[in-house]
Amino acid sequence: MQKDISTPNDIKILVDTFYNSVKSDATIGYIFTDVAKVNWDDHLPRMYKFWEFALLGTAVYKGNPMMKHIALNAKASLTKQHFEQWVHLWEATVDRFFEGEIANRAKERGQLMKTVMHIKMEQINK
C-alpha cells in the first residue's frame, strides 16, 4: 500500500514528477515550453504552494490561475484535449506515488480545475 499525501515534500515529489511528464508530453508539452515559455525556477515553487494550500492547507498561495490561463489562451487556443491530457498526467502521477483521502482529493481537484478551465476557455474562444 502506498502512503497518502501528507507533507510538503510529498507535494514537491508530486509536482516535480508531474511537470517532468508535462514537459515531454506530445499533446501539451509545447504549451509550457514554446508558448508560455515557463520559467521553471519560478513556476515550480508557486505550484508547490498552490497544491500545499489546496491539499494540506499549510501554505499561503497568492495568484490567479484563471487569469494566467486566459492570457495563455490568447496566445494559443487551449482545447478540451489539452485539459484532458493535463488531468490524465496529473492523475497518473498521483496514482504512481500515493493513495488515500488526500490523494483522492488531489485527483478531484484536478478534475475540477480541468472542467472549470475548459468551460472558461470555450466561452472565450467562441
Between 4 and 66, the more confident residue is 4
Q: Select from 3.10.180.10, 1.10.10.10, 1.10.490.10, 3.10.20.310 the CATH code of 8-125.
A: 1.10.490.10
pLDDT in the model for residue 60: 84
Q: What is the pLDDT of residues 8-44, one digit of tens each?
A: 999 999 999 999 999 999 999 999 999 999 999 999 9
Q: What is the pLDDT of residues 86-107, one digit of tens each?
A: 999 999 999 999 999 999 999 9
What does pTM read for this prediction? 0.93
Q: Give the distance between the most distant pair of CA atoms in the chain.
A: 46
Eight-state DSSP code of residue 32: I
Give the residue extent of every domain in the chain: 8-125
